[in-house]
Structure 1
Amino acid sequence: MFRDFFWPRDCSYIYRNNTRNLSLTAKKNISALTEVNGVDQPEAVSSSAARNLVSKRQRSVSAQDLINGIFDGNITALSRAITLVESTNPEHQQKASEVISACLPKANNSVRIGITGVPGVGKSTFIEAFGKYLTGIGKKVAVLAVDPSSSLSHGSILGDKTRMEELVKDKNAFIRPSASGETLGGVARKTRETITLCEAFGFDTIIIETVGVGQSETAVHGMTDFFLLLQIAGAGDELQGIKRGIMEMADAIVINKADGDNIKKAKLAKTEFGRALHYFPQKSSGWMPTALTCSAITKDGIPEIWEIVSAYLTLTKENGYFEKRRSEQNLEWMHEAINEQLKLNFYNDGKVASTIDNTRKNVMEHRLSPFSAAQELLKLFLGK
């Protein structure tokens, strides 16, 4: 005897008790795709869930709300203000300008330390060890980590916080990764403005970690008080050390990873870089750069680095160089802001926007020289 079993919907079967034969007759003129009336399908989007999401969505805060939050020590307000400042949306520029202007009177009260070095030198690990030491002696530390952007996809990993597992949990530390974008010199487009916001928040030590691109990484020198260059043993000899560029800007050279079997090599590298520093002319600050070793893993040499920074600050504040350099940096900031605003105004101009695609096509097809194309677009922008 056959028991109940599944059979396609477009067929019927007859079971005869007196025989074990099954006759199958197909239903005619009925498609297998015929819709049968049944339960109504639910809505693609739940109206109640949508209302719930809208109610929980963050409202757009005003510039004054962000300013009050920064002054009150609200870390969320600081993060949102930095995001606003970094935005390229023209609608955000006025609000960002209001926030920065309000924060300027409470800025300029920190120590700004720039840290650079070749990729793989251990910048993130060093900064975590250095930052934990500083918070341990009562400092409030903000780390602005600049991550390189891809020239192909224009994206960034922004993964420096994952390397600073202990520092990111420290209540006296703040880590903000930013993409370098199209900005050259190892820093992000709005690093100066971010420094101002962090200082107004109350951080007394600002550490700027650059992307680590090598000799050309000099922009960070124009926005910091102390410039620290990280090196590793075997990265070069005295001849490599005396090459102009980033080396002569360094206020201290630290040979990192001086631990285990690498201690002897690190000490030798320290001696070689120390000799190289003597080939450079004396700095206008009156400071003589020095070389030393450290290990971000064992923490050896970390306190000595802060002693060097403190000695530098004492000297430059006594001889007036510190304030002079800060004033020069403000002028550099003004010129940078002018260039940035002119660039934004140019590309957002309606007449330029309606013409630039065709001009680019002519340049790519060799019908117009790049110089002539630039001249035509600038004349159009300036109304000449």
Structure 2
Amino acid sequence: MDTKDLAERIAAGERRALARGITLVESGRADHRVQAAEVLAALPRDRQSLRIGLSGTPGVGKSTFIEAFGMTLVQAGLRVAVLAVDPSSARSGGSILGDKTRMDRLSREPAAFIRPSPSQTHLGGVARRTREAVALCEGAGFDVVLIETVGVGQSETVVAQMSDLFLLLLAPAGGDELQGVKRGIMEMADMILINKADGDLKPAATRTCADYAGALRLLRKRPQDPDGFPKAMMVSAMTGEGLDAAWTDMQALMDWRKQAGFFAATRAAQARYWFEDDVRAGLLARLDRPTARAALGKLAAEVEAGTRSPSAAAQMFLTEHLDG
């Protein structure tokens, strides 16, 4: 593969080249990992997209919201990329990857690009190589990259390490309004959007939004937030109500962070996080050798038999094989 040519075509905005590049970075083959690194290194470094991570409970309407919000951005003259992570089966390893069928209008827009990816059971709500896929979309010149996560709950915070804005999408009258006072994913959110604020659910959405707005005021103010943030807002992906206002507030927040220096500092901290994450992944990959697997099976059998404690067995395995 001519990685330089592929990088040039991605930089020129070729959709097929971008799709091929994402397939390359998602591959686990050793030769593909080398080629993926070459492609990423050859991309322009002077392009910056607004990276928006989106989390929420299953069934809250993430895909419907992304289509409606994406159409709002496209109509404003922006190019939008959507990276949708689908859950993988722990039993078969397969994923449905049906997000394009749920975003019918947006998938037909020339200024939009939608790529579903399997989570491959990776924890944190995102796929293992989602960060590199974001970099490819950024190199392709997209103005906004939307990262839709699996939606696994309060522990789904890894997406905040690859996004500039983290949105938490919630449904009205979900019975968990008081979850707003808990630590975890609430602390990571820059904006909480109460979806389905239309029809018979609008009064419930109003109450839910007020509950979360009150809960946010109880959280300690973060230095990267101006007055009024994080905030809770009502939106409707079905009618489009509230989407323009939410986008205006997102732009205002990002402008403030850029002027205050938090945008660059956050990007630098994220780069360090992913460097350390890649080092950890590389160390684990070094343990995936026939001798190491045999030793692991032997020690696991001893742990099951009760002749060796789990911590002692783990320490012995790492000592013998990490430096091998």
The alignment's TM-score, normalised by the length of structure 1, stands at 0.80
CA shift for structure 1 position 368 = 4.2
Tell me the equivalent position of 2:259.
318
Tell me the equivalent position of 2:93.
154
Aligned with residue 91 of structure 1, among 1, 10, 31: 31
Q: Does 1:195 align with 2:134?
A: yes
Q: Does 1:142 align with 2:81?
A: yes
Tell me the equivalent position of 1:220.
159
Structure 2 distance, partners of 1:382, 1:242, is 42
Matches within 5 A, 1:14-25: none
Structure 2 distance, partners of 1:227, 1:202, is 21
The alignment's TM-score, normalised by the length of structure 2, stands at 0.94
Tell me the equivalent position of 2:273.
332
Structure 2 distance, partners of 1:80, 1:364, is 45
Q: Structure 2, unaligned stretches of length 5 or more?
A: none
Q: Does 1:290 align with 2:231?
A: yes
Q: Does the aligned pair in 2 maintain the 1:104–1:196 contact within 8 Å?
A: no
Structure 2 distance, partners of 1:284, 1:104, is 31
Q: Does the aligned pair in 1 maintain the 2:206–2:234 contact within 8 Å?
A: yes
Structure 2 distance, partners of 1:277, 1:141, is 30
Q: Does 1:81 align with 2:27?
A: no
Distance 1:359 1:268, change over 3 A: same
Q: Structure 1, unaligned stretches of length 5 or more?
A: 1-60
CA shift for structure 1 position 350 = 4.6
| Partner SS for 1:154 | coil
CA shift for structure 1 position 381 = 2.2
Structure 2 distance, partners of 1:86, 1:138, is 30
State which drifts further: 219-228 or 69-78: 69-78
Could you give the per-residue CA deviations for residues 302-340 of structure 1, whole angstroms, max 9, x where no partner exists? 111101101101111111111111111111111111111
Matches within 5 A, 1:334-353: 334-347=275-288, 349-353=289-293
| Partner SS for 1:278 | helix
Tell me the equivalent position of 1:25.
none
CA shift for structure 1 position 102 = 1.6
Q: Which has the larger radius of gyration?
A: 1
Could you give the per-residue CA deviations for residues 182-207 of structure 1, whole angstroms, max 9, x where no partner exists? 32111110111111111001111010
Aligned with residue 124 of structure 1, among 53, 59, 63: 63
**2:8 is matched by which residue type in structure 1?**
N
Q: Does the aligned pair in 1 maintain the 2:166–2:191 contact within 8 Å?
A: yes
**2:117 is matched by which residue type in structure 1?**
S
CA shift for structure 1 position 367 = 4.6
**2:36 is matched by which residue type in structure 1?**
A
Aligned with residue 254 of structure 1, among 193, 201, 205: 193
**1:235 is matched by which residue type in structure 2?**
G
| Partner SS for 2:213 | helix
Tell me the equivalent position of 1:8.
none
Structure 2 distance, partners of 1:155, 1:362, is 33
Matches within 5 A, 1:353-372: 353-372=293-312
Q: Does the aligned pair in 1 maintain the 2:65–2:237 contact within 8 Å?
A: yes
State which drifts further: 355-364 or 200-209: 355-364
Structure 2 distance, partners of 1:264, 1:315, is 32
State which drifts further: 193-202 or 62-71: 62-71
Aligned with residue 100 of structure 1, among 40, 56, 65: 40
Tell me the equivalent position of 1:42.
none
State which drifts further: 231-240 or 365-374: 365-374
Q: Does the aligned pair in 2 maintain the 1:346–1:352 contact within 8 Å?
A: yes
Percent identical residues: 46
Q: Does 1:306 align with 2:247?
A: yes
Structure 1's consecutive aligned runs of 4 or more residues displaced over 6 angstroms after TM superposition are: none
Matches within 5 A, 1:5-16: none
Tell me the equivalent position of 1:380.
320
Structure 2 distance, partners of 1:317, 1:126, is 26
| Count of aligned pairs | 322
**2:13 is matched by which residue type in structure 1?**
G
Q: Does the aligned pair in 1 maintain the 2:178–2:211 contact within 8 Å?
A: no
**2:75 is matched by which residue type in structure 1?**
G
| Partner SS for 2:211 | helix
